[in-house]
A = this chain, B = another copy of it.
Amino acid sequence: MSNTPLIFWLVPVASLIALGFAWHFFRSMMKESEGTPRMKEIAAHVRKGAMAYLRQQYRVVAIVFLILVLFFAFLAYGLGVQNPWVPFAFLTGGLFSGLAGFIGMRTATFASARTAHAASQSLNKGLKVAFRSGAVMGLVVVGLGLLDISVWYLILNHFIDATGTQKLMIITTTMLTFGMGASTQALFARVGGGIYTKAADVGADLVGKVEAGIPEDDPRNPATIADNVGDNVGDVAGMGADLYESYCGSILATAALGAAAFASSGMQMQAVLAPMLIAAVGILLSVIGIFLVRTKEGATMKQLLGALGIGVNVSSVLIAICTFGILYVLQIDNWLGISFSVIVGLLAGIIIGQSTEYYTSHSYKPTQKIAKSSETGPATVIISGIGMGMISTAIPVITIAVAIILAFLCAINFDVQHMISAENISKGLYGIGIAAVGMLSTLGITLATDAYGPIADNAGGNAEMSGLDPDVRKRTDALDALGNTTAATGKGFAIGSAALTALALLASYIEEVKIGMQHIGETTLQLADGTTKAIADANILDMMDYFQVTLMNPNVLVGAFIGAMMAFLFCGLTMNAVGRAAQSMVEEVRRQFREIKGILEGKATPDYARCVAISTKGAQREMLFPSIIAIVVPILVGFIFGVAGVMGLLIGSLSAGFVLAVFMANSGGAWDNAKKFIEEGNFGGKGSDNHKATVVGDTVGDPFKDTSGPSLNILIKLMSMVSIVVAGLTVSMHLL
């Protein structure tokens, strides 16, 4: 390990600090009281349901992992087209991602009753308990992410038998494959959790609210526990696994790009370290930000938002400043330009978050217009919600487009004349990668504000079901409303970071193809002009030339069509899955209302467990097919259409999938808040026909914003990851 620079050790140290604070926040949350026996009982129900679900999900995922590990082992040891470390890297990625989701969710299920109880003392206390419990998730995700990266770096550095740039490239591209483990785990968490939570939610709402006319979270509703479980398994565990994957993916992809881009200037080690160090410093600053979040009694929504905002903003400003310091200390070529690439990423994340808030909050016109369209019934609510959601894709796309170009240009010192030269293109793509790292550098705290949402939501449910004082419920409602806003911006942030990460992965796919070709014993490339070049010396443009990845290659065109279709197909499958699973839930709730006497009078206890079981079973059954095609299609496309086809596939799924994801998340969020706007007394208020029309919108929006939309984030990353892992296979055999 003599060749590991001293400064590298900051990375494992930061990861341990994150895990230490996570432990500290967890312990101090656990010391709070869980409140009355009834509160404890309800929390225990939810916890039990959530754990039962996760256990079941991990069982299914374990089988999928077993099959994939065997497949990768066959590629590595049987066909010899893959690095022998890959099956192990893949496994640990899955393991750590699952662990992060598990810890986050377990914390959340412990925190809800405690938040409700703390809120009965003061708003600030409630906010603190909920937010710091959310911070456990944020810190565990970044802590485990950097830990996995550090350990693998040290292991591979010790064992891999190569030197210099070649060694660094093998290390970084091998590490990248653990991203696929994380990605696969995340896919199941998001899809399974998303189906679970919305089947329960839609089922509970359709029968409970619409048919029986009882309020949200009413203990008489048999699906209410399942609904609360859903918040934990979908929004906490799913979101955690998703961002764990973006976090690691962006750092590793950037490192892999850096190893190649800075080889000629001898700065490859600095370029590999830079994303890791930015992430490490980001962790420390996130912890500082977390400590800054506090509020006072009777705070308005704006003040509550401000309380969270201070934490996030301070962390963001500090990381922006520190980035210059880190890159200066590393003495990397063009450190100033690259620092600005990082800032570009940070800013893009903030703008996308703001635009999400504008389009989905009922403080602004778009959502108010959807509420107004309820005057002509549910059909116009749907039409205007879909129209608005589609229009709302413009700002995020333009933001990402500008960020891509600016991050690229900053990293090449605005050498516009030679933008696509062999030297500049690698460095520019590195700039795009490090912009993704910048966007995610404050993940410790941004994820805390996100995971906080479902905790506050569950606290409200707990307060309602255990019949706490209306004043307490009012406080938990305030905390919950705050959570809805942070959830919307969090979703924008998750999508934006997924897009930049996927781009970085797309670029590092080329590096992986290069390594794959060398691995199967190829040494030279035959270029279009008839000359040959050693693969080891080939740059990205040579690779594009060799594989003819131009837009006029029909393989690229076909790949792009299939990629765009994949985004829609995947969404359609998950939408229908929610529909079917919700249908079973509706039938079960109707059956209980019919068969269990006295249930609606509150004289008999509903069979909560059975609803939990139905959601669990539905989610497990339904998540398998969409997940499998997400893994199989990139392999098939590679096998038929080769590298050019795969790149077409990835760009098609990335561009269409990003836009589709933003559309679905924003339409869903806006419908939710249009309904809330009416509930606050506008356009006829609660119970009016207008309200009923927006309830239809909200119900349609549920799978939009919590199942299909967020699952797309993973789809676009997972397809890149799968392509990266099977790159060796693709280059050694394909039909066209």
A162 at the interface (CB under 8 A from B): no
A564 at the interface (CB under 8 A from B): yes
Q: Which residue of the partner chain B has the closest CB to A580?
A: B384
Which residues in window 381-437 of A have CB below 8 A to B? 382-384, 386-394, 397-398, 400-401, 404-405, 408, 416, 419-420, 425, 428-429, 432
A548 at the interface (CB under 8 A from B): yes
B563 with A552: CB separation less than 8 A = no
Known A-B contacts A376-B206, A382-B382, A562-B397; A573 and B540 likewise in contact (beta carbons under 8 Å): no
| Chain B residues within an 8 Å CB radius of A553 | 420, 425
A150 at the interface (CB under 8 A from B): no
Known A-B contacts A394-B569, A696-B382; A404 and B554 likewise in contact (beta carbons under 8 Å): yes
> Which of B387, B576, B699, B700 is the one whose CB lies under 8 Å from A573?
B387
A108 at the interface (CB under 8 A from B): no
A29 at the interface (CB under 8 A from B): no
Cα A390 to Cα B704 in complex, Å, equals: 13
A524 at the interface (CB under 8 A from B): no
| Count of chain A residues with a beta carbon within 8 Å of a chain B beta carbon | 96
A564 with B655: CB separation less than 8 A = yes
Known A-B contacts A206-B377, A394-B569; A556 and B552 likewise in contact (beta carbons under 8 Å): no
Known A-B contacts A549-B552, A572-B387; A401 and B651 likewise in contact (beta carbons under 8 Å): no
| Chain B residues within an 8 Å CB radius of A274 | none
Can you list, as one digit per residue, whether each of A546-586 has a CB less than 8 Å from chain B (1) or not (0)? 00111111111110111111011101111110110011001
Among the listed stretches A128-136, A526-534, A608-616, which one makes contact with chain B, having 4 or more residues with CB under 8 Å of it? A526-534
A700 with B379: CB separation less than 8 A = yes
Cα A529 to Cα B567 in complex, Å, equals: 38
Among the listed stretches A117-125, A238-246, A656-664, which one makes contact with chain B, having 4 or more residues with CB under 8 Å of it? A656-664
A510 at the interface (CB under 8 A from B): yes
| Chain B residues within an 8 Å CB radius of A206 | 376-377, 379-380
Cα A583 to Cα B572 in complex, Å, equals: 30
Copies in the complex: 2
Cα A416 to Cα B642 in complex, Å, equals: 12
Q: How far is the CB of A538 from chain B (nearest CB, A)?
A: 13
Known A-B contacts A393-B568, A549-B550, A551-B651; A575 and B387 likewise in contact (beta carbons under 8 Å): yes
| Chain B residues within an 8 Å CB radius of A425 | 552-553
> Which of B386, B419, B510, B564 is the one whose CB lies under 8 Å from A656?
B564
B572 with A388: CB separation less than 8 A = yes
A541 at the interface (CB under 8 A from B): yes
| Chain B residues within an 8 Å CB radius of A573 | 387, 390-391
Q: How far is the CB of A396 from chain B (nearest CB, A)?
A: 8
A337 at the interface (CB under 8 A from B): no
B651 with A560: CB separation less than 8 A = yes
Q: Which residue of the partner chain B has the closest CB to A653?
A: B655
B554 with A405: CB separation less than 8 A = yes
B572 with A391: CB separation less than 8 A = yes
B387 with A568: CB separation less than 8 A = no
Cα A384 to Cα B579 in complex, Å, equals: 6
| Chain B residues within an 8 Å CB radius of A308 | none
> Which of B419, B551, B647, B663 is the one whose CB lies under 8 Å from A647?
B551
A210 at the interface (CB under 8 A from B): yes
Q: How far is the CB of A225 from chain B (nearest CB, A)?
A: 21
Q: How far is the CB of A310 from chain B (nearest CB, A)?
A: 33
Cα A582 to Cα B563 in complex, Å, equals: 35
| Chain B residues within an 8 Å CB radius of A578 | 383
Residues of chain A having any CB pair with chain B under 8 Å: 202, 206, 210, 373, 376-380, 382-384, 386-394, 397-398, 400-401, 404-405, 408, 416, 419-420, 425, 428-429, 432, 503, 506-507, 510, 527-529, 531, 540-541, 544-545, 548-558, 560-565, 567-569, 571-576, 578-579, 582-583, 586, 647-648, 651-652, 654-656, 658-660, 663, 695-696, 699-700, 703, 735-736
Query: What would 30 A/B residue contacts be, using CB atoms closer than 8 Å?
Result: A210-B377, A382-B696, A383-B575, A383-B703, A387-B579, A390-B572, A390-B575, A391-B569, A391-B572, A393-B569, A397-B562, A401-B562, A404-B561, A405-B736, A419-B554, A420-B548, A503-B557, A507-B552, A528-B545, A541-B550, A544-B550, A550-B550, A550-B551, A557-B651, A560-B654, A561-B659, A564-B658, A652-B655, A652-B656, A656-B656
